[in-house]
């Protein structure tokens, strides 16, 4: 119950504080990211919507930045990344690391 209240409170804060980031989408299909390389602007907080079109769950994990998020099968999740310096920031799908590889190209 307490957790629910805390969660609700956080929810209110998050929706009020965060408005107006640019939003990008990455999808997962057959344990591969598409696009495998996503270009995002430097020096900006960016909203990433990751949609997993596979039936099985996947864990989106940053190699060069700190994000770890499980995306259940056939569903979407949101994470906020950056602001980054220009460069290449790799990420993987930890549950299928052999095929699920990608990178954020920050320009």
**Shortest spacing between CB 80 and other proteins, in angstroms:** 4
Q: Nearest distance from residue 56's CB to other proteins, in Å?
A: 4
Using the minimum distance from each CB to other proteins, give the nearer residue, 36 or 49: 49
Which DSSP string corresponds to 44-104?
S-EEEEEEE-SSS-EEEEESSS--EEEE-TTEEEEEEE----SEEEEEEEGGGTTT-EEEE
Residue 8 has phi, psi (to 5 degrees) of -65, -40
Q: Would you tell me which residues interact with other proteins (CB under 8 A)?
A: 3, 6-7, 10-11, 13-15, 17-18, 21, 45, 47, 49, 55-59, 65-80, 82-83, 94-98
Residue 39 phi, psi (nearest 5): -90, 125
23 or 39: CB nearest other proteins: 23
Select 17 or 107, whichever has its Cβ closest to other proteins.
17
């Amino acid at each position: 119950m307490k957790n629910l209240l805390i969660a609700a409170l956080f929810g209110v804060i998050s929706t009020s504080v965060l408005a107006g980031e640019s939003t990008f989408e990455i999808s997962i299909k057959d344990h591969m990211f598409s696009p495998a390389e996503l270009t995002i602007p430097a020096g900006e907080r960016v909203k990433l919507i990751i949609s997993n079109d596979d039936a099985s769950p996947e864990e989106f994990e940053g190699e060069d930045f700190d994000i770890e998020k499980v995306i259940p099968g056939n569903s979407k999740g949101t994470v906020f990344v950056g602001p980054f310096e220009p460069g290449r920031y790799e990420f993987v799908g930890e549950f299928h690391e052999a095929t699920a590889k990608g990178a954020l190209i920050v320009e």
